[in-house]
Amino acid sequence: MNHAESEKAPASPGTLASPGTPASPGTPASSRQRSTAEHRGWTSRGYLPHFDSPHVVQSVTFRLADAVPQHVIANWREELKLSGGETASDPRAIELRKRIEKYEDAGYGACYLRDLRVAEVVQKALLHFDGTRYRLIAWCVMPNHVHVLFELLPGFPLAAVLHSWKSFTANEANRLLGRSGTFWQREYYDRFIRDERHLKAAIEYIENNPVKAGLVRSLQEWRFSSAYARSGHCGN
């Protein structure tokens, strides 16, 4: 699905919650109000289908604008003969995901998320509405992409949550970096979690991503992740 994420600055998120904890009771009242938008179930306006439903655990990946160029993905899709109507379990769709993941982990593009200031902005944005709009389960901010595993709460559709993350962080990152223009790729990939086995595999994949990419030796070393937060290092 082609999500054209507006990068106009929304209201500042204000005081952010500590990693792994719900938003502070001092969070502005507007942040605790439900969105008037409805959860839309299965939707697709392009070649990526999205599933939006409350109390469903979602694994979402979104990436920097130059992390995996669209023409590279288009060439792969043509090579694999993908039309857009395939299921996530289709071997060709699985192969496409593997190619994208390998390309991401190779660290192509500007990798703005290597900047600790920018990575911190993204991580805090993920944590900010934990417990009010969604329940955060696992996350990892990589140099050029972000993985998030979370359960949507009623009244806060998937597209709205992604828009909130991407629009705020794009503007803050551009300010910190002294740049302008598109920051995030408009597409994002999401997949709902089927069962406990799938959940465990998703957490393992997300938290092990920095190790797989050769960035650290153990998953607890990667500062901007749920594994690091659980290890008790947060705040250091």
* Span 130-139, average pLDDT: 96
Predicted local confidence at residue 141, as pLDDT: 98
CB-CB contact of 77 with 47 (8 Å): yes
pLDDT value at 73 more than 60: yes
Q: What is the DSSP letter of 80?
A: H
CB-CB contact of 96 with 179 (8 Å): no
Helix axis angle for 158-177 and 116-128, nearest 10°, is: 150
* Span 172-191, average pLDDT: 94
* Span 204-211, average pLDDT: 97
CA distances from 193 to 53, 150, 187 (A): 12, 10, 20
Residue 69 phi/psi, 5° resolution? -55, 145
H/E stretch holding 145 reads: strand 145-152
Chain-centroid distance of CA 180 in Å reads: 21
Q: Where are the domains of the chain?
A: 42-67+111-230
User: Residue 52 forms beta bridges with which residues?
Assistant: 41
Residue that wins the pLDDT comparison between 56 and 32? 56
Matching CATH number, 42-67+111-230, of 3.30.70.1290, 3.90.550.10, 3.30.1490.190, 3.90.1300.10: 3.30.70.1290
- Alpha carbons 194 and 174: distance in angstroms, whole number: 37
Long-range contact set of residues 208-216: C-beta below 8 Å, sequence gap at least 24: 209/105, 209/140, 209/142, 209/147, 210/140, 210/142, 212/105, 213/105, 213/107, 213/142, 215/142, 215/143
Q: Which of 7-21, 62-76, 92-106, 136-150 is the least confident region?
A: 7-21
Predicted local confidence at residue 42, as pLDDT: 35
Residue 143 phi/psi, 5° resolution? -60, -30
| 5: confidence class by pLDDT, cuts 50, 70, 90 | very low
Long-range contact set of residues 113-118: C-beta below 8 Å, sequence gap at least 24: 113/64, 113/141, 113/142, 113/143, 113/144, 113/145, 113/146, 113/224, 114/143, 115/176, 115/177, 116/223, 117/176, 118/169, 118/172, 118/173, 118/176, 118/177
- The mean pLDDT value of the chain amounts to 81
- Alpha carbons 19 and 33: distance in angstroms, whole number: 22
* Span 71-97, average pLDDT: 90
H/E stretch holding 16 reads: none
